[in-house]
Every structure is written in C-alpha cells, then in structure tokens.
Amino acid sequence: MRPTRKTQVFPISSILVGVLVIPLVVLLVIFLVQPTAFSSSSFSSSSWETTWNPVASNDTSNSRSNYSVPSSTEDIWQPQPSQAPVFTFANNQRGAPAPAPQIFGVDDEVQETITQQVGPNKTRFMSGSSQLEKLEASLGRARSLIREAANVRNKISTHQDPDYVPRGPIYRNPNAFHRSYLEMEKLFKIYVYEEGEVPIFHDGPCRSIYSSEGRFIHEMEKGNMYRTRDPDKALVYFLPFSVARMVRFMYVPDSKDRHGMKLTIIDYVNLIAQKHPFWNRSLGADHFMLSCHDWGPFTTSFVPLLFHKSIRVLCNANTSEGFNPSKDASFPEINLKTSEMSGLGGQPPSSRSTLAFFAGGLHGHIRSLLLNEWKGKDRDVRVYEKLPRGVSYEKMLKGSKFCLCPSGYEVASPRVVEAIYAECIPVLISDGYIPPFSDVLDWKTFSVQVPVKNISDIKNILMSISSRQYLRTQRRVKEVQRHFLVNGPPKRYDVFHMIVHSIWLRRLNIRIQDLLT
C-alpha cells in the first residue's frame, strides 16, 4: 500500500539528554465493561471465522458483548493525586526532535503502580499473587542494577559479553543499556495468548513493508526465545493479532467500513479479559500488541484500555495519533522483499558521489513539499518521484552520502532502515515521529533530522556538515546496523531482541499490584 520512501536526518553533536523525573501518578482505573450474555464457548473457531468477514459481522454482533467505548478518556481514567513517584520517561523540550523515552539516569524509586479496582467484589484471583510479588521483586532488583550501571558514564560498557560490548556515542548510556539487555535475557518471559485463529491471529506478513509484524509474531509463535507457557511466570502478555492481516481479510478496499475489524478487536480483548485473570489484574498495562500497518494506532482505539494503557509497538509512532513514548514502543519498518534481508553495505565514503537521494511517490504532505522543492532541480540533491530507467535504487542508496527519509502516508519510513543497511546517513524529515529504540540509541549521533519547515534548506544543511563530521556519523551508521538486522533465527542484539528490549523497558517502568488479593 505504501511505497518505499526516503528520509532525511540531521547529524547533531552527541549530547546526552538528561532525564526528567516526572512526579507520579497512580491511576485507578475503572474498567467499564458492558456486561452481557457472553460465554467463552461462543468463541469457538467457527465464530471467529465469521467475524473475519466484514459482511457477516453485523449479523453476529448482537450476540456478543462488547466494551462500551467511553466518549472521552476521562470517563475511564481517574488519575489520583500522586502517591508514588513514577519511573517514567520524560519528554525533552517542546518542539525538539522526537522525545525519547528513557529509563537510564533516573534516580528515584520510580514506578507507576498499576492497581485495579474491578467492581466491589475483591474475592477472586487469590492464587498467583505471591508469584506476581516474586516477579515484581525480581524486576525491582533489575531496576536497581540498571540504575547503578547508569551511574557509570563510560564510553564502553564495563560488563562482560562474549558476543558484543556496547560502546560509543550511538548509545545514550552503553553501560546501562548493556546491563538492561543482560537482565532482560535472564528474566524476561512473555506469555502468548492462544485464542484466535490464523490468518489474523498467530500469523502475519513476513515480506513487504509490514514484514516486522509477521516476523515478530512468527518468532514468538515458535517459542524459542522469551516465551513461557505458564502465564503465572510471565512478565508481559502478547496479543498476537496482525493488523495488516485484518486489513487484508476484513476490509473491503475503499469501503470505509471498518466495522468487522472493530468487532474482532473488541471481542478478542473481551474474550481475553473473561477467560484469563491477567488483563483485569493490570487493566492491560502488562499486555502488548504490535503493528506495522498505518492503521495500527486506529485499530487499538476501539478498546480504550488497549489504546491508553497497554504497550503498543507501532511503526506508525506518531505522537499526534496518541503514540505515547513512555508506554508505547516504536517499531522499525523494514521492507523485506524476500524472506532474507538484503542490501547490506555500500560504497566507501570517498566514492559516494551524490550528496542526497530520494525516490518515491507523492504520498502525504511532507513528500509533496519535498518533491515540489527538489524534484528535478538539483544535481546534488537528487529527488525523484520515479527513478529514470536504468537507474538502480539500491545503487543510488549505496552511492549517496545522505538518504532522505520523509514521512509518507504515515510517519515511519522503511527508508530509514534501508539507509542504515546501505551505510548512507539517514535524513529524517517528519513531524511527531519517535524513531525506534530511541530509549537507548541517540539518533542525533548517526542521523540528521531536518524539520519540515526547513525542507528548502536541505542542501545548505547537508553541505554545512564538515567531512570529518560526515565520516564520524557514517561510521556510527555502520555501528548501529547490528540493531536493525533481521536474522532467522534471531541473533543477540539484532532487531528482534531490540524490539523485545523496548517492551522490557516499558514493563520495567510499571509495577503491577493485584489489589484483588
């Protein structure tokens, strides 16, 4: 649906951004559920199949209960006066490049405590709570180890590792990241819900610009890494549905009828909340979904708790569409044309003869600004809507110094990872986009960010980067590559593990307490 695009980034001197400790709030949430005749037996596989069909979905809707969707979030959120400091991510300054969530450098006791109140009856779920306390205690220890590691402001991690030792300015804090990564490997356990059927659940596209969605779901389904079959041992709960698949199987193109998708997502979360105690226990805060489709954020909006409370791992990490970096994670968009990653490596810096390159369709307002300003106008800033015959897209990436990555119909661009693979410095041109892994990676050190209002200044901005600075930045692009590599099976520190690490960080940021016990 979306063609590939290019982005621009602005290399900025590496400055570690201090973390603001935000005073915290304990949210008591009232879980509004429309009580209706609902039995889990009505969720046999055959009834799931009917909901996939948007045409049939209206017929079945009456027999299903659903969450009532409040008209505003105030209806469900009741923020209480701050009772506990929260371990949360602070935004930098207003208007600055995407605020990066981070936990490193936070020194207080920092968790958002998730408590719940599910009606007046507090007699259920006694079992499992001491298990939960144990898990929370282990997270508490991990937090203090990470915090301690964050105080060591070394350029190189001080921890041992046979495979890789994080170092250098691409990391906000290499030592804290490394400690956190190692703790994740030791402790992190993910439970994957088994309800739902392929192709919408437990499966997803493994090629195309949506490949991140399918690759991750498949990896979790295989169960070789992080997965636990015992939900009482899990730190997070995965809702393995594919938004790209929902769009493909349930949405009639151009129909604007997303009713089938809506029912499916509502029914599914309802089922999970009825059948298992875990959703109610945290009001979804230790649950995650992921999507690379433009409609990922929109799809989650049908279940307010999923939107506002759960961890959403989204390619479309648009802060103007409710992406909240303190609880949501930015998902890299990777355009896999085959099941293998391709395009690694490029010309050495001295042979990169083109200053900046972009080729891609006129999608969205940022592209149109870029094309209007630069298409066919400049020998150094080579911007195409359509590449001329005989010109290879890959060769252009590999032979350019900077690769422009403007947002298209949504904020993320597969060009960012394409540029990183081709060792071309990505130039991000976007509004409200939080790039992937910005909780641990300092994007300013290996990319350039050009504000949308400065599209006409692109050439000046890029020309003003000295060759020393260019070489430094390009070297860092190569260093950061490993975190974007797609491997089957995954290898330590590659994109799969980095995504899991983003989720781990967000789970570290909350504390679940089961008030029902």
Ligand X SMILES: *[C@@H]1O[C@H](CO)[C@@H](O)[C@H](O)[C@H]1NC(C)=O
Binding positions for ligand X, rule: CB under 6 A: 31, 33-34, 36, 54-55, 58, 61, 64, 66, 118-121, 123-124, 257, 259, 263, 273-274, 277, 280, 318, 320-321, 364, 407, 410-411, 432, 453-454, 457, 460-461
What's the sign of the alpha-carbon dihedral 507, 66, 324, 358? Answer: positive
- Nearer CB in complex with ligand X: 315/411: 411
Phi, psi for 201 (deg, rounded to 5): -110, 155
- Nearer CB in complex with ligand X: 306/508: 306
- Nearer CB in complex with ligand X: 60/138: 60
Residue 384 CA to its chain's centroid (Å): 29
Least distance CB 181 / ligand X (angstroms): 31
Strands (E), 279-394: 287-291, 311-314, 329-330, 354-359, 381-384
Please tell me the distance from the alpha carbon of residue 11 to that of residue 472, in angstroms, as a whole number.
10
Least distance CB 122 / ligand X (angstroms): 8
Name the H helices within 276-363: 278-282, 296-300, 304-308
Q: Which residue has the tokens 């300003």?
A: 373
Least distance CB 78 / ligand X (angstroms): 16
What DSSP designation does 3 have?
A: P
Least distance CB 279 / ligand X (angstroms): 7
Please tell me the distance from the alpha carbon of residue 442 to that of residue 59, in angstroms, as a whole number.
51
Least distance CB 173 / ligand X (angstroms): 29
- Nearer CB in complex with ligand X: 47/274: 274
Name the H helices within 240-377: 243-250, 259-275, 278-282, 296-300, 304-308, 364-374
Question: Listing from the earlier edge strand, what are the strands of the sheet with 236-238?
Answer: 227-228, 190-192, 236-238, 287-291, 311-314, 329-330
Least distance CB 11 / ligand X (angstroms): 13
- Nearer CB in complex with ligand X: 66/88: 66
Least distance CB 433 / ligand X (angstroms): 7
What value, to the nearest 5°, has the Cα angle with vertex 504 and ends 500 and 510? 150
Token digits of residue 104: 């490193």
Least distance CB 440 / ligand X (angstroms): 24
User: What is the chain's length?
Assistant: 517
Least distance CB 353 / ligand X (angstroms): 24
Token digits of residue 229: 């079959």
Q: To the nearest 10°, the Cα dihedral for 301, 412, 169, 96?
A: -70
Question: Listing from the earlier edge strand, what are the strands of the sheet with 27-30?
Answer: 77-79, 27-30, 112-117, 510-512
3 state SS of 354: strand
- Nearer CB in complex with ligand X: 7/173: 7
Question: Listing from the earlier edge strand, what are the strands of the sheet with 425-429?
Answer: 381-384, 354-359, 400-406, 425-429, 448-449
Least distance CB 274 / ligand X (angstroms): 5
How would you classify the pairing of strands 27-30 and 77-79? Answer: antiparallel
- Nearer CB in complex with ligand X: 363/492: 363
- Nearer CB in complex with ligand X: 54/166: 54
- Three-state SS string across 401-426, please? EEEEEECCCCCCCHHHHHHHHCCCEE
- Nearer CB in complex with ligand X: 259/472: 259
